[in-house]
Amino acid sequence: MKIDIKAGLLSALVLPGIGQLYQGRKLRGGIMIVLVNLLLLGALVLVLRAIGSIAASSAAGAVVDRTLVVQVLEQNGTAGRWLLAAFAALWIFGTVDALLGGRSGGEPQ
């Protein structure tokens, strides 16, 4: 088993999936990049929804303070936690897979 430090660093520091592309495993790297982008897009939607909700409350005359922000964040808390957990799991998997060169599938290198 060969440890590829450069591929692991690319996956860990740049974007999960880049290390796999560097190693020539295009299918796995491409799938990981698409998944990461979908997770980040979902997080962006949650953040924009929260900002919109706070802006709407402010426009209606409500005072924007900590309690309002916390209340809005708690409404999206579960989805945000799931997105964060999925992103963290994919990031860890991508780094370990790139370091170890994971040939678990029949994908050619």
For residue 81, the Cα-to-chain-centroid distance in whole angstroms is: 11
Question: Which pLDDT score, from 0 to 100, does residue 4 have?
Answer: 73
- The amino acid sitting at 94 is G
Model pTM score: 0.75
Question: Which pLDDT score, from 0 to 100, does residue 9 have?
Answer: 82
Which helix (H) or strand (E) element contains residue 49?
helix 26-59
pLDDT digits (tens, 9 = 90+) for 81-98: 899 899 999 999 988 888
Q: Please identify every stretch of the chain with a pLDDT value under 70, giving residue numbers as ranges.
A: 1-2, 102-109
Sign of CA dihedral 78, 80, 85, 86: positive
